[in-house]
Structure 1
Amino acid sequence: MATADLLLHPVRARILQTLLGSDPLTTAQLRDRLPDIAAATMYRHVAVLAEAGVLEVVEEKRVRGTVERSYQVRQERAVVDSAARATMTLEDHRRAFTAFSASLMADFERYLAQEGAAPATDGVVYRQAAMWLTEEEFAALIDEIQAAIIARTGNEPSGDRSRHVISLVVVPNNPPGEPGPAVEAAG
């Protein structure tokens, strides 16, 4: 299974984000979309992800005496599952969350640096909500969120569709002296 260290490395996280929801891409196409990543670095991290089974080769063709591979993300392998999370120490979780947050901030900065970026009209949303939930209600909420996302991940690119990346953070937040689980969501 994938580990947080594997998936949340800054370069690998950007590769995965670029491939999520897109047609399969070659390493050369990834380099075109991520020009600030050196070629050797790109090839090394694509190889690490492929070796771990997070990326799969969907096409190979000969180009000028070499084999060019097209990759796509294996969605089921691109997550740190609950069993792997359970083995992580508090420090592992701290490092993983720091890497996730840094990646999210870098993605947002890249978006803002684009010519014509218009957060208000582009549908940029960042929001928090606190809610009191039983374990069953919390599990149902997570199932609903996953179902809503999964229902739309198969949409094909078209002239009237824009690509959006949704990030979710869920943190228990029990106020001192107040009983029961409180769940705070940001996305």
Structure 2
Amino acid sequence: MPTADLLLHPVRLRVVQAFLGDRTLTTSEVRGLLPDVPAATLYRHVGVLADAGVLEVVGERKVRGAAERSYRLVTEAVSVDAEAAARMTPEDHRRAFATFVAALLADFDRYTGGAGSRPLDLAADGVGYRQVALWLSDEEFGQLVADLRAVLAARVGLEPDGARRRRIVSQVFLPG
């Protein structure tokens, strides 16, 4: 199954997102992160992702007689390269973007609904969203993208240490 087709399913996309940040998780731990997904559905989609090489087994142990596997995301396997993106039709790109936006909305809904009785404090939680328009030449835009990649790359390898919170950063670039 091509990578785009794998990731265009909303449950599989959420499973992949659960592993972002170089996490190693068991299916039970993923269930804890996605409690609204029925167990059988989750196990099926984890299996599809593992069979496709998107998740790799990095450990296995016996739990009550059954094998419990630990998985890790194969980052290279979830990237749609420029060649594959060029083969996608405009409808494929619309579906991919709609899936991305739906996942983003679902994450935000979980954040705002997951606050419970406490009031939301977006500033304290580091939540932000905004849109700006920039007037840039192709060269200036290329430099902006390179700068952003460098800023993110410098932080991608940071490990959890008790003080760090996992944060999801999403990017969209569109011509005006």
Taking structure 1 as the reference length, what is the TM-score of the superposition? 0.85
Of residues 132, 135, 138 in structure 2, which corresponds to 1:129? 132
Contact 1:2/1:79 (CA < 8 Å) preserved in 2?
A: no
Q: What is residue 147 of structure 2 aligned with on the other side?
A: 144
Q: Which amino acid aligns with 2:169?
A: I
Partner of 1:14: 14
One-letter amino acid matched to 2:86: A
Gap regions ≥5 residues in structure 1:
174-187
TM-aligned CA deviation for residue 112 of structure 1: 0.5
| Structure 1 range deviating more: 36-45 or 76-85 | 76-85
| Partner of residue 48, structure 1 | 48
- Hey, what does 1:162 align to over in structure 2? 165
SS in 2 for 1:172: coil
Aligned to 1:184: none
- Per mean C-alpha deviation after superposition, the further-off stretch among 147-156 and 94-103 is 147-156
1:71 corresponds in structure 2 to 71
Where 2:132 maps in the other structure, the secondary structure is strand
SS in 1 for 2:80: coil
Q: Which whole-Å CA distance do the structure 2 matches of 1:4 and 1:108 have between them?
A: 23
Q: In the alignment, which residue of structure 1 is the partner of 2:33?
A: 33
CA distance in 1, matches of 2:12, 2:76: 16
Q: Distance in 1 between matches of 2:86 and 2:57?
A: 30
* Mapping of residues 81-100 of structure 1, within 5 Å: 81-100=81-100
Q: Secondary structure at the match of 1:57?
A: strand
Q: Does the alignment pair 1:57 with 2:57?
A: yes
How far apart in 1 are the matches of 2:89 and 2:169?
26
How far the C-alpha of 1:121 sits from its partner, in A, is 1.7
Structure 2 unaligned residues grouped into runs of 5+: none
Further displaced range: 58-67 or 32-41: 58-67
Root mean square deviation of aligned Cα: 1.7
- Give how far 1:65 is off: 2.6
User: Higher strand fraction: Structure 1 or Structure 2?
Assistant: 1
Residue type at the aligned position of 2:3: T
Deviation at 1:103, TM superposition (A): 0.8
Distance 1:89 1:16 in 2: 23
Deviations 1:59-88 (A, max 9, x none): 122223322110111112222211111011
Residues 32-73 of structure 1: per-residue CA shift (max 9 Å, x gap): 121111111111111111122111111122223322110111
Deviation at 1:2, TM superposition (A): 5.0
8 A Cα contact 2:19 2:72, kept in partner? yes
Q: How many residue pairs end up in the alignment?
A: 173
- Deviation, 1:22, is 5.0
